[in-house]
Amino acid sequence: MASLSCSTTNTVNLDNAQRVDIICRKGDNFSIEVDFYNASNQPINLTTYAWKMEVSESDTSASPVLDSTAFSYSGNSTGKLFVTATAATMLTIPAGLYVYGLQSNVAGVIKTWLLGLFTVNEDVVD
C-alpha cells in the first residue's frame, strides 16, 4: 500500500493549454494556422478531430460573442489546423478586448489546446 507524508505537497497539473493571444481586425477575413506536435515532436494526425473555438467577453461570460459555428475548421494529417471566419462574420463583433479558447474532441476526449486574449481592432475602411 502506498502512503503519503502529510508534510508532502503533490500536484498533478492536467491543464496543458498554451496561451496564445490573437489580434485581428473587425471586418477582415480571419485565418490562423496552428501546428500540433506530440511529445516526440511528431505531427499529430488531426483528420479525426472535431474543433470548437469560442470568443467571449470574459472567461465567466454566459454566452460567447462568437460561438463555435462562426468559425470553420480544417485539420490534416501533418498536424496543421486551419481556423477561418468570413469578413462578414468578423464584422459582427465590436472592436474590443475578449478571451477565446480552442478545444478539440476526438473519440469523446475533450482537450483545450489554446486560450488567450482575442483583440479586435476597429476597421477604418468601409
Q: Please write the tens of the pLDDT for every residue from 62-121.
A: 899 999 999 999 999 999 999 999 999 999 999 999 999 999 999 999 999 999 999 999
List CB contacts of 10: < 8 A, sequence separation 6 or more: 4
Residue 35: count other Cβ atoms within 10 Å of its Cβ: 11
- pTM assigned to the model: 0.87
Distance separating alpha carbons of residues 21 and 56, to the nearest angstrom = 14
pLDDT at 5 over 60: no
Backbone angles phi, psi at 69, to 5 degrees: -80, -10
pLDDT at 1 over 90: no
Residue 74: count other Cβ atoms within 10 Å of its Cβ: 13
Note whether 88 and 70 are within 8 A (CB).
no
Q: Select from 45, 113, 31 the least CA-distant residue to 79.
A: 45
